[in-house]
Structure 1
Amino acid sequence: MLASFFVWDGVDTLRNTEAHVEETENMLERLRKVLPRDYASFVPNDPELVSRAIAGTRVGAGSLLALGKAPRTSAAVLAGTTLPALVGANAFWSADSQKEKNEGRNALVTNTALLGALFITAQDLEGKPSLSWRAKKAGERTSKKVQAALPTKSETQHLTDKASDWFEDTTDRVTSYVDDHKDDWQDTGKDLLHTAKSYVDDARSYVDDNKDDWQEAGKGLIANVRDTAKDYGQTARGFVNDNAGDWLSAAEDNVKIARKAVVKNASKAQKKADKAVKKADKASGGSLKKWNKKADKFQKDADKKIAKAIKKVGKNI
């Protein structure tokens, strides 16, 4: 019965939209005046479109309410479509004639009554408790179950006493065991200290007895290393003088071949190796070993470049 008014009003507006455009336009104009300036700009400017939208909404929500489908939501939607009309369309006090004032007053009262009925419908729970009440009761039931699962005060006290007795008994056993064996542990510790001290004394004596021999052996080892490095340097220099230099000297004497890039690279690499050999001749100790390594490295590089030059320009000069 409540839904029939909104369904019929929506159908009539959709069929005769032009007859309701002026009323909708007045409603929109009054809403712009009533609302704050920040919100008045959101009011639509097309009264025909607004009329059709409100009418369609009323038909749809009214039909759902009549069928009992989502009645609370449908009632809230219908209330939303009625509230603007209540605020903006029923300004009967501004009517020109007494008849128009009476009609406007009756429309206002009717819309107010319908709006109240819609509010009642939107709050109707159909005999079911509200969500907040059900949530509260569910919380109470859960709390009772948790409390029932927890141990009682007497059980907790019993467990506490039992744990306390176990800790006291264990502490007494540990203390008694320590008291009974502490003398043995002290004696064992003293024996370990004496043994360690004797090991240290033996090690110190061994070092004192053999340090002179180790020093002599070290000096001999250093001398051997120095002689080996010197021999290695001489061997490397001999290799340079006996092999790489022969072909490179012949290539440099030939002006045409000497201009080749591979011959130039080989010549530069060989000069670099020769320079390292000269540095090694003047060096000694650790520096000698360093320059010998460099001479060997540079000579290997020079040998590769000489071999490349031989392959490219010919083996016979």
Structure 2
Amino acid sequence: MILRRVARPLLASIFIFGGIGALRDAQGHAKAAEPFLTDSFDKLEGVIPEGLPRDPVTLVRIDAGVKIGAGLALATGKAPRLASLLLLGSLVPTTLAAHRFWEIKDPAERQQQQIQFIKNASLGGGLLLAAADTGGKPSLGWRARRAAKKAGKAAERVGKRAEKALPN
């Protein structure tokens, strides 16, 4: 459908662009994310596996790679539902790290960050819609229920045939 061919690249474009920007200035993005990351790692001590990188620059680069890769996948229609979920998973911590408007005292800056926070929440809504979009095909849940129903009917038929074949 033409709508998906237009909407997916439009939705993906901000993630691809943002990922490229984060790679170009990983240090700057890491500096902005560091308070959030430190706070998160402190709160989740013992829950986060030891092997997970904790260096903000590394995490920014990983996040940028996810944004670029999943953004390109969404834009080209390759595994768009998975790509949307990956982008959503990347968007949440990015938003919480970069747009903490509730901590800002200056009214103008606070309002600007609040707008960016709401914009990202809106993008999250678009990603949820994209993740749920089956492209006009039945969902996996529907297909599983249908297959189970068919299997049940087939088993019932086999059972009836077996009853008829048994001697009285």
| Match of residue 119 from structure 2 | 110
Larger radius of gyration: 1
Aligned residue pairs total 157
Runs of 4+ with >6 A deviation: none
Looking at structure 2, the residues matched to 104 and 40 of structure 1 have their Cα atoms a distance apart, in angstroms, of 29
In the alignment, which of 111, 122, 139 is matched to residue 130 of structure 1? Answer: 139
> Is 1:99 the counterpart of 2:108 in the alignment?
yes
Matched residue of 1:39: which SS? coil
In the alignment, which of 56, 75, 80 is matched to residue 89 of structure 2? Answer: 80
In the alignment, which of 28, 35, 51 is matched to residue 37 of structure 2? Answer: 28
Matched residue of 1:137: which SS? helix
| Match of residue 8 from structure 1 | 17
| Match of residue 76 from structure 2 | 67
Deviation at 1:50, TM superposition (A): 1.5
Equivalent residues in 2 for 1:203-218, closer than 5 Å: none
Deviation at 1:59, TM superposition (A): 0.6
Amino acid at match of 2:87: L
In the alignment, which of 54, 57, 60 is matched to residue 51 of structure 1? Answer: 60
Amino acid at match of 2:98: A
User: What's the TM-score, normalizing by structure 1?
Assistant: 0.44
Looking at structure 1, the residues matched to 162 and 61 of structure 2 have their Cα atoms a distance apart, in angstroms, of 68
Asked whether the equivalents of residues 32 and 97 of structure 2 are also in contact (C-alpha less than 8 Å), the reply is: no
Equivalent residues in 2 for 1:214-293, closer than 5 Å: none
Query: C-alpha offsets along residues 20-60 of structure 1, whole Å, 9 cap, x if unaligned?
Result: 22212133134235x34433686744222221111111111
> Is 1:148 the counterpart of 2:157 in the alignment?
yes
Q: Which structure is higher in helix share?
A: 1
Looking at structure 2, the residues matched to 4 and 138 of structure 1 have their Cα atoms a distance apart, in angstroms, of 38
User: What's the TM-score, normalizing by structure 2?
Assistant: 0.79
Identity of aligned residues (%): 31
Asked whether the equivalents of residues 95 and 120 of structure 2 are also in contact (C-alpha less than 8 Å), the reply is: yes
Gaps of 5+ in 1: 161-317
RMSD: 2.5
